[in-house]
Structure 1
């Protein structure tokens, strides 16, 4: 039998990075002990292979499947690259697949429910076609027996031909309905599907490659993947395949694995918290309620009246509560983006629930919601039948089922500790009308993630910014995980981390002209004394635009200044930035460039985080804080720390990690705000220096704004980094 140390045979390169061998060994031991792992490793230190090699070895040895997942596109590409390196290493026959959702792989662009119906109808058709073939063969054989004088063959053949006629009629009916030709080919063209699986497992194929291959051959690549992933060694996928309970159950079934047969590896695991909230939330709009009422109006069913009672009462309550929640002039400012309205109360149920109870007139809300659900399930079944029979061109979505399911959850969950009721509004761009939606917002993700980590055999959660581990453990619902932290083991002489003593950029101080001048001058010095590209992160896109404008007008800046704006495609801008030998890029720390994107070597030499980029303190952020305060009532400032401060410092550390990606790389990292300096100890909970891990705090050097130019000059000049003339400091 293999031993724990055999994982090194899967390592595809000559020599591990610093700390990589140690991490692989500790993870291998943890998997043998069926324990979860929290792994923090500095960016660029090979965390993926540190987890992947021992996980794949363990899975092969114990007949399990490794599922490695991320919510960052670039990391997905890195997973594919690492998996290919392992597969091409020729040490073992590894079967690996990349799995994406149906929406990105469907050749005829139908939704999940419609696809499911098409699949069932198409399979029924193929089954009947096969039955017809068998009956024809039987009829031919019986005809031969009749010719040979078998007296009983004639009556038997009559029975077969009668059945054949019936099956042929069924085939005609099914063919007249809705089917998927791509899936039909999956079921009937055996040679093509065999060739697909041979091609699939000859390498690690991306979802885009699978789509292209299948499309050229008129096959459904998504369904082929579902059929082909059973028992594979490694699956690369998105977060939602594990975080959404319903999808997870199906996904494991396709894998042919029980949850205990899964080793789950989460990359960028600091994002699990927010991703889990997104998957746990539920919403219901005015439009859906209106469509639900239309759907049940024509039903000759005794359950239609109770369904109407609850749907109309909730719709009226939703409209009245949203109208009453607007402040003076607030409604006119609503755009096409969802805008939250406050409906909660400290001493009673939320306003929407109270209005719902006021508007409702019936025999009992819970009873009538249950009857509404029963009716909706019946309607949904009718939609399914109509689509299968070709009576409708598309598979209708049952709006009353959505409404009934939501109302059931609303009345059950909206006053629990980890759930926050919200009304949001938006303006319809077509009609210019403002409409509302009700939402159950999940505040504490462990209600979603604890079951996952309890079900699977073991999990590895890795990130460059997971600490403090005890918070990650509490928030996600992990039980006694192995904790591993590896700092940046590259040469210290190749990096400097400076905390700049500028004024604290509280939101109230951002418009101060003197503060803006100090920040702009500091950034100008950083840009001028950087031999190459400089990457600047700000608390928001608005602040990024403010300082991009000031830098373009600054006398000391001679480099092109690029701006990343909200709502624009980032990748072309990133590519243009790295293609320049000397430029500045201003972006938001809450944008897509702050994590999961590498700026290796000359791509960026200096990175700066301006201010402490706390998220906008919206009602949702406050709800998260309040939920953590209630859940950890014995811990001072738990809501602030868990909900605001720790996620913000993780984002800051992620941004700093965009540079220094290899042992030979070098650069400067700037934290521009006195809350990062030693003076922050006097600022109470707003001083954040103490939230950095000890080894990172030890590297922080406090610098006055006027001295930044000298700090960068000395660092880069010592490394002989300037190509040509060395810039001269300003007096």
Structure 2
């Protein structure tokens, strides 16, 4: 066989064909291709073709393709391309089997239909409790079996059918009936899940869970969530358990970054995919570093500390009552026996429980003291109006000088040594087991999570990790009116500033594959921050490929407007009227008044509101403004933008409408980006990030290479500011600009407005554009932009 048999279209683009062959050769050597390809160049089909070719080749060791993406739109694109591949396979080939990974809320029949007291908010806690009770009923050694539980649940349905002239009230989901009632069945006084009971009944005693799957997944092609629910629940078995059973047997698995990089999810659910028989496709790979940084960072909230103290007390009290000789009820005596038995089995002592409780209590008091002192310092009258408070960061060390944090120092002074930190997670797991055995409530216990964070806080270093207190605005009417807890959710946060080891270690578990995006340049930075340089040092090849826009150049015009830098020092607040703001208002209006839909990307939502107000005064077109809102609102906004007359859509470059959204065809005629969207450099966390990157990737491995935004060039040493802030910001801007031209027949204009894109200078970002883009984005003065746009839209030669 050849990869051409897998490729889903009649002919590949020349660069597509070269990319497929490179990916196949590199994967055979256990390596990765790092691919930057412009929007519309067929990266999705390229990667799927190479991976499926390896899986279908009998001489290859690859058994499956795992696709990871951070954007839902791109997940849909992989699903569409897999269908295209299956539709065009040779007649004698079986379809390529595939599965889309989702969470329990998307596949649990009860959650989907919001019955039996289960919805998307409580499905995880309820599911775990129901599964445990179902297993306990089956495992008691009595007459109860999984088959008898299923029979009872089905007979309840039959009984209803016999007594109702209108027929049984089946629970229906995904358009099909299930064999059970919408209410949760009970065995005696114990609730159980009939879907999970059916799975347990079908599960072979010592066999592969795949033998419990009641449908032929090999012939299904791509199994989407609704397909999985329909196929599973119709047979009366658990769709989520079916997803786990099928997972390692299908040829293509499509999921999110957290399926591979979240420590909990990867170890408990997708661990079977993390080996050298898996061909990895990592899409939107420019987001790999920030997304994984979030996944491998951690925090513990004030409320969680409070709840952990309560859970520890509920475990400690029965034993204390018994030890004190207090009169106790039978239930209390039973609880004491249960606690002692679990502690003995877990090698956890009562004194350790008490010490951890004291530590958590004192930690909350110290948190309260620090937050109160901070607010008193920055806003002495804060108690007068809690609604006026803003989010805050309270660094626990100088963010630019790695050192032991103040909370760790405080704990040592209070007599809490490393033992209480290190043992906290084990103690927390023991507390959860005791409470789950003693209490009927389906509830996730917080002490294990608190213990995990405390353990990580103690174990991790102080150079790559930064610790701080975060105050995030919320509102809790149950708290006293003069307490900061009424206005804030406070967290002890542990930030992994440099996640390259976590990324590289996980990538090393896969056999090989493709990491791709439309915006990976500069590739030397990407390789470094994603741990790929480490893999290459270990003997695994890393091959770089860059594919530019192969579509007709006469169909697009690309300008870099040499305007004053769009920095706060130049522009001031959105309400100000100054020369910088006038230049930007004029430039954006010039682009937006031309025919077609126009996308405007601003550094923040506040600046988006400002430019929208300007455009509404100057244009006849409707102006839509994106806000930081939920997916439903965003989808509605997209629908409005794409329908009817020409419009302008204004958004933040850190929103969801500038990445992964398909503006194909005539959906977009122009995109304009204002400024370089560098995140807040005054934030302690940002300063710590820059310092950590200086020390990790600077020329001498220390902060000596620290810079303020420019220079570096080529493949040599780059400052922490460049690596951590400037390069990701330019990628954000390029993502937005790349929405315009996505096909050979599309016509449009791409405009950067900020002198840093237009000219070489000490703080220029032009060097971070690929060479082809530097050549295309011709510098133009603000007063010449209108003339240049007219020449393009009038069909004359571009500048």
TM class by shorter chain equals 0.7 to 0.9
Aligned mate of 1:559, from 604, 621, 626: 621
Q: Does the CA-based 8 Å contact 1:538-1:589 persist in structure 2?
A: yes
Q: Quick one: structure 1 residues 545 and 347, their matched pair in 2 at CA, closer, same or farther if it must change by over 3 Å?
A: closer
Contact 1:539 1:590 in 2 (8 A): yes
Cross-structure match for 2:324? none
Matched, 1:379 2:392: no
Matches within 5 A, 1:51-450: 51-61=47-57, 62-91=61-90, 92-93=93-94, 94-106=96-108, 107=110, 108-109=118-119, 110-112=122-124, 114-123=126-135, 125-126=137-138, 176-188=189-201, 197-198=215-216, 201-211=219-229, 214=232, 219-253=237-271, 255=272, 257=273, 259-298=275-314, 299=316, 300=319, 301-326=350-375, 327-329=377-379, 331=382, 339-345=392-398, 346=401, 348-358=403-413, 360-361=414-415, 364-370=416-422, 372-386=424-438, 391-394=439-442, 396-413=443-460, 415-431=461-477, 432-450=486-504
CA–CA distance in 2 between the matches of 1:133 and 1:366?
47
Contact 2:592 2:598 (C-alpha < 8 Å) held by counterparts: yes
Per the TM alignment, residue 610 of structure 1 is displaced from its structure 2 partner at its CA by 1.0
Please, what TM-score do these two structures have when normalized by structure 2?
Answer: 0.78
Q: Is the 8 A contact 2:22 2:33 kept in 1?
A: no
Contact 1:589 / 1:613 at 8 angstroms: preserved in 2? yes
Kept in 2: contact 1:306–1:369 (CA 8 A): no
For residues 580 and 614 of structure 1, what CA distance do their matches in structure 2 show?
35
| Aligned counterpart for 2:659 among listed residues 585, 595, 619 | 595
- Alignment TM-score, normalising by the size of structure 1: 0.85
Once the two structures are TM-superposed, the CA of residue 378 in structure 1 deviates from its matched residue by 2.4
Q: Output the CA distance in 2 between the equivalents of 1:512 and 1:675.
A: 22
Instruction: Identify the residue that residue 451 of structure 1 maps to in structure 2.
Output: 505
Deviations 1:683-724 (A, max 9, x none): x1x211121111110112121222222212211221899xxx
**2:738 counterpart of 1:692:** no
Is 1:524 aligned with 2:524? no
Matched pairs, number = 663
Kept in 2, the 8 Å contact 1:263–1:458? The answer is yes
- Deviation per CA, 1:268-300: give whole Å up to 9, x if none: 000011110111111111212122222222413
Residue 554 of structure 2: SS of its match in structure 1? helix
Provide the rounded CA distance (Å) in 2 between the counterparts of 1:702 and 1:433: 48
Residue range with higher mean Cα deviation, 12-21 or 43-52: 12-21
In structure 2, the partner of 1:153 is: none
Measured on the aligned residues, the alpha-carbon RMSD in Å equals 2.9
Tell whether 2:731 aligns with 1:676: no
Alignment of 1:451-470 (within 5 A): 451-470=505-524
Does 1:572 find its partner at 2:641? Answer: no
Partner of 1:502, secondary structure, is coil
Contact 2:424 2:455 in 1 (8 A): no
**Structure richer in helix, relative to its length:** 1
CA contact (8 A) 2:397 2:406 kept: yes
Deviation at 1:25, TM superposition (A): 1.0
Structure 2 unaligned spans of 5+: 111-117, 149-184, 204-210, 320-349, 478-485, 537-541, 700-704, 708-718
In the TM superposition, residue 214 of structure 1 has moved relative to its aligned partner by: 4.6
Instruction: Give 1:252 deviation, angstroms.
Output: 4.1
Trace 1:546-695 onto structure 2 (pairs within 5 A): 546-554=610-618, 557-567=619-629, 569-617=633-681, 618-634=683-699, 635=705, 637=707, 638-678=719-759, 681-682=760-761, 684=762, 686-695=763-772
Could you tell me how far apart the structure 1 residues matched to 2:265 and 2:11 are?
A: 38
Question: Which residue number corresponds to residue 35 of structure 1?
Answer: 31
SS of residue in 2 equivalent to 1:297? helix
Q: Deviations over 1:644-694 (max 9, x none)?
A: 11001111111110011001111110011111112xx23x1x211121111
Contact kept in structure 2, 1:495 and 1:667, CA below 8 Å: yes
